[in-house]
Every structure is written in C-alpha cells, then in structure tokens.
Structure 1
Amino acid sequence: MDVFEAIATRRSVRHFDPAHRMSDDEIDTLMSHILLSPTAFNIQNWRFVAVQDPALRAEIRKAAWDQAQVTEASLLLVMCLDLKSWAKSPERYWRHAPAQVSESMVREIRHFYRDDEMLQRDEGMRSCGMAAQTAMLAARGMGYDSCPMDGFDFKRVGHLINLPPDHRICMMITFGKAQAAAHPRSGQLDLSEVFVRDRFTESER
C-alpha cells in the first residue's frame, strides 16, 4: 500500500476483532517506524505505553466510558509526552553529530525550553500528534485499522499506567483488525474553506 492510499483509507474504526492480537514482531515493526517521526531539536519527547495486561485494559476501559475498543483492539497505545526531555542529557540526541554541532544544539535546546512550561507542553503535544499520524498510517500500511482517542479520564488513565509527574498524556490509539467498517465520511470541508494563500483576508478574520 503506498502512502497516498494509506492516507485515503485511514479511518477511525471503533469495532475490532477481539480474538486478534498483534505479534511482538508486528509491534516492533510499528514502533520502529513511529520512532522516525520528527521532533523539534530531535528531543524525541514522546513516550509510548503499550497496554497489554487484560486486567489493566479493563480498568482503562472503565475510565474511557466503557468504550469496547479499549479491550477489543489488538493493541492499545497510550501516547505520552515527557515535559522535561529537553533537560535530560540532551547531548544524547546529537551524539552522532560532529562535536561542534552537538554542543551548539544542546545550548539552543536549553535556551529555547528553559523557564517556558507552556512551550514544553505544546512541543510535546506537537510531537505526539506527528507520531500519532505516523502510527496510524504505518498501521494502515501493515493491514491494520486504528482509532485515535481522547474520550477518557486522563487523570485516571495516568494513575493506572503510573505516569511520572513530569509526563502528560496526549491521546490513546487503538489498533486492530476491523470487525465493522467505519461510517462514510460525514462532511469533509471543501479545500477552499480551509486553505489560505499568504494571509487571511478581512472577510475571513
């Protein structure tokens, strides 16, 4: 499946075959491609929790208003962000670069993120968003469907997965073999309604 087909056929599927589970090799393949997602300054501030314990899945389902996909999906991935990844040995993000480049980038990382907690959070959300799209398209290319989720109690799920204090949850994604097709697209806006060239006109503001 080429990338354009993956984009066109990716849909939010909520009904999965509960008997199917992804193999460890498939999960490794998926994750290895998610790790190719971009992050600013290469700080790789996403963290991924694959929830495989059935009892824990059942508890998370309760925190997600009993959505069946939480337990029926082949894989449940909690997309998290590390707010302080920029400060945790940032030189490791540039360890294969020339020394001069590495030293310069580490200085810039510290200068850019220090004392700006909102930026740290926003950056993590951006990174997780890009990783999430990579994950869903990679899964589609592997023959799996997926569904991004924010319909759950974030604090409760954070407690259940023992989320560190300096981390936040961005979303969850379920992956699996679709048992029922997604509903038809319900109303895509026309390109002219969302695409602006150069600047907004006065009538668009």
Structure 2
Amino acid sequence: MDTFDAIYGRRSIKHYHPEHELTDEEITKLMQAAIQSPTSFNIQHWRFVLVRDKETRQQLKAAAYNQAQVADASLLIVLTADMHAYKKEPERYWKDSPPEVGKKLVGMLVGLYDNQPQLQRDEAMRSMGIAAQTIMLAAKSMGYDTGALVGYDPDKVAEIINLPEDHVLGMMIVVGQATQGAWGKPGQLSLDDVIVHDKFSPES
C-alpha cells in the first residue's frame, strides 16, 4: 500500500472480529517495522508487551473500562519504555559503529539523561508515540486496522503486566480485522489553523 494511502486510510477502529488471529510471521513483520522507529541516541527504549493470552486480555479489558476491542482484537500491544535504558549497556546501541564514535556517544548519552527524570520520561513518551504511529501505518499497509487507547487505569495495567519500576506506560494499540468501520472524520482543522510560520505572533 502506498504510504499516503495508509496515512489517509488509517482510522481508529473499535470493533474487531474476535475469532481472527494474526500469524506469528505477521506479528514479526509488524514488530520489525516498529523497531525501525527513530529514538534519541538510538536508545531504542521501547518495550512492547504483546498480549495474546485470553485471560490476560480480559483482565486488561476490565482495566480499560471494559472497552471490547481490548479483548476482541487479534493482537493487543501495550507500549512501555525503559526510562533507564540509557545506562543499561549503552555500548550496544552503537555496536556496529566505529569504536571511537560509540565511546563518544555513550559518554554524551549518560551525561545528558543521568539525574534528569523529567527528560527521561519525556524522551520515553516521544519515542513511544513515534513507534505507535509506525505500528498503525504498518498494520494498515498489511491490510489490518488499529486503534490507540489511553483510556485505562494505569495502576491496574502496570500490575497486570508486571511493569518494572523504571518503566513507564504509553498507550495500548489493538490490531485486527474490523467488523465495523469508523464514523466519518468529525472535523479536520485546516492547515491555516495548525501551521505557524517561523514564530508565534505576540497576540498568540
């Protein structure tokens, strides 16, 4: 599928065929695309929790205020990120680069993020957002529909998936075969409403 077709065709779908399953090969293809998403310093600190177990899906459905798609979709992905990935064997992020380059970047990475919890969280959220869009567009190009969810109880979800203390939750993404399409787009802002040229005006 053409990239622009995937962008314009992607919609947030809430109704999925509960009997449909993605193959292991399809899931691998989707996640291989996901990890092509860029991250600052190549940290790659996203951790994708792929939930296929039906009992766990039911628990997460309850934690997501009983939204049916959490249990019905072919695949549920809980996006999380390791906020301390910057200091966990950071040399591996540049293992294929010239040694002097890797050494320099490791020093810069640790110096930038160490003792900066807000920056660590901000970076995690940015990276998960980019990866989420990659997943949704890749799924659309594979013929599947998706939906992103932020409506859930974070404490309950963290407990269900055993989220480590140094990780942060992002959004959930459901992937599968739609049984009902989305409504028409409710109202798209014009480019004039969302583009600022060079800088905001003093009246903004």
* 1:28 aligned partner, one-letter code: T
Q: Which runs of 5+ in 2 are unaligned?
A: none
2:178 is paired with a residue whose SS is coil
CA distance in 2, matches of 1:15, 1:122: 32
Equivalent runs, 1:49-88 vs 2, <5 Å: 49-88=49-88
Count of aligned positions: 204
Q: Which runs of 4+ in 1 moved over 3 A?
A: none
TM-score (norm 1): 0.99
Secondary structure at 1:185 match in 2: coil
**Displacement, 1:201?**
1.1
Paired position in structure 2 for 1:154: 154
| Distance (Å, rounded) in 2 between the aligned partners of 1:144 and 1:154 | 27
Q: Give CA deviations for 1:3-49 in whole Å, capped at 9, x if unaligned.
A: 00000000000001111010100000000010100000000010000
How far 1:86 moved relative to its partner?
0.2
5 Å-filtered alignment, 1:136-147, equals: 136-147=136-147
Amino acid at match of 1:141: S
- How far residue 202 of structure 1 moved from its aligned partner, in angstroms, is 2.0
Unaligned 5+ segments in structure 1 are none
SS across alignment from 1:129: helix
Aligned to 2:165: 165
Query: How far off is 1:83 after superposition?
Result: 0.7
What RMSD over aligned residues (CA atoms) do the two structures have, in Å?
A: 0.5
Give the distance between the partners of 1:84 and 1:168, measured in 2 at CA: 10
Match of 2:89 in 1: 89
Aligned to 2:112: 112
The one-letter code of the counterpart of 1:134 is T
Following superposition, the deviation at residue 64 of structure 1 comes to: 0.6
How far apart, in 2, do the equivalents of 1:19 and 1:54 lie? 12
**1:167 shift after superposition:** 0.5
State the alpha-carbon separation in 2 of the partners of residues 53 and 18 from structure 1. 13
